[in-house]
Amino acid sequence: MQRTIKTFSVENTNVFKKQILLWAQQFETVLWLDSNNYKQQYSSFDCGLAVEEFTSIKTDYLNAFEKLKEYQTITKDYIFGYISYDVKNDVEELSSNNLDGLGFADLFFFQPKKLFFIIGNTIEFQYLKMVDDEIESDFEEISNLTFQTQSRNLKNKTSNSDIKIKLRIHKDEYYAKVNKIIDHIKRGDIYEANFCQEFYAENSTINPAQVYEDLNKISKPPFATFLKIEQQYLLSASPERYIRKEGNKIISQPIKGTAKRLRSKIDDDKIASDLSRDIKERAENVMIVDLVRNDLSKSAIKGSVKVEELCKVYSFKQVHQMISTVVSEIYPNTNPIDVLKTTFPMGSMTGAPKISAMKIIENLEETKRGLYSGTVGYFTPNGDFDFNVVIRSILYNQEKKYISYSVGGAITAKSNPEKEYEECLLKAKAMKYVLLNSSKI
């Protein structure tokens, strides 16, 4: 599928980013990806925006990867979308029977009519031929949006009502469930499990664009995402990459290990240093690195799986994170969907061994994960791809007036239920703050 490409220069990229995301709200389907200029080795653009479906695929988990393979092969164009956590049921004999208040499809991808990439001060427009005569007028319209227009438009949309956040799992019940996981570990059923809990609000409305702006402002993560599919929204401040393909190279960057940021530079540097040496946190990370190495080996050229970086601490606005980088090489004729299928779901959100851990957490969790701990990203026309991990995210069904955010942590033999609960609250802090204070930020 041919696209018309035109580039423009802008003086202030930060202003243009706000303008183009506001402009995009008119469309039923929107996917915005923002690296927040975070310095990282593997990156193709600073921001990407895909709007307005030309073609799309929406399906449940049954044969989901085969359907995606067919769609991606036929389309031979950029496609953007997501794979929910529950597509695990396509890979293994598993099920998802927990409560679902959001109703996202298991898998969704679309071929955008209009596509934008921001690299430095350059804006690249890539429009399909049937709409390429709108490039100049769209650039003009986006550039002329003012902050007054933005404020007026935001106020005209739904504003945050009184939001009452509830816990799906209360503290004592959480402790009991973590102890059950530790019992499984002691019996040798698993080594580690990523156990998650949901916080939610019913009969509540928010302004999704404003909430996303506020969440991104206080987090500035490298894999921020705003997704709109009609009445359903993902507002994500994810710091984690799931998997990326550059030619024949595959890159996975699991996160395990979290510490809060502190105001004093001396204290902040110390807590980051302590995290890098923490025996429990390193053990969690190394277990998942081993799992990722095993997953990548299923599609890799023999002997090509390598750990480029082990347990390196990276700092974000809210937290320090321990991240490892695992890479592999694949044969040129390897289908990109097969790489995803053999690594999904990402080990950082399941545990090890993966299948046993997924069965255990399905029984203990109260909520269907859905898009949370799934992945959002894109394919290029030549079959490269880049996908994040959907964490540190707010999910919203505007029609149902249901708001949800989930957090989790890796449970190991050395886990302390109280400390695990505190870590969950730390991870949930930004989402809770934004939901309760969005109009004030």
Residue with tokens 């490269």: 384
> Whose CA is closest to 251, among 26, 41, 37, 10?
41
DSSP annotation of 44 reads: S
Query: Which of 256, 341, 354, 368 is the catalytic position?
Result: 256
Q: Any catalytic annotation for residue 418?
A: no
Helix axes 417-437, 208-219, angle to 10 degrees: 130
> Whose CA is closest to 54, among 36, 29, 74, 37?
29
Query: Which of 52, 198, 240, 420 is the catalytic position?
Result: 240
Beta strands 232-238 and 393-397, pairing class:
antiparallel
Beta strands 241-246 and 249-253, pairing class:
antiparallel
CA angle 380, 68, 393 (to 5 degrees): 75
Is 418 in contact with 190 (CB distance < 8 Å)?
no
What does the block give as tokens for 323? 């991240």
Cα–Cα distance measured from residue 389 to residue 371, given in angstroms and rounded to the nearest whole number: 10
Q: Any catalytic annotation for residue 256?
A: yes
Q: Is 274 left (phi over 0), alpha (psi -120 to 50) or beta?
A: alpha
Is 215 in contact with 394 (CB distance < 8 Å)?
yes
CA angle 241, 244, 246 (to 5 degrees): 150
Helix (H, G, I), strand (E, B) or coil at 356: helix
Is 4 in contact with 127 (CB distance < 8 Å)?
yes
Cα–Cα distance measured from residue 283 to residue 414, given in angstroms and rounded to the nearest whole number: 10
Helix axes 13-24, 208-219, angle to 10 degrees: 150
What does the block give as tokens for 233? 């929204």
CA 309 → CA 35, 179, 289, 345, distances in Å? Answer: 20, 32, 10, 21
| Catalytically active residues, by annotation | 240, 256
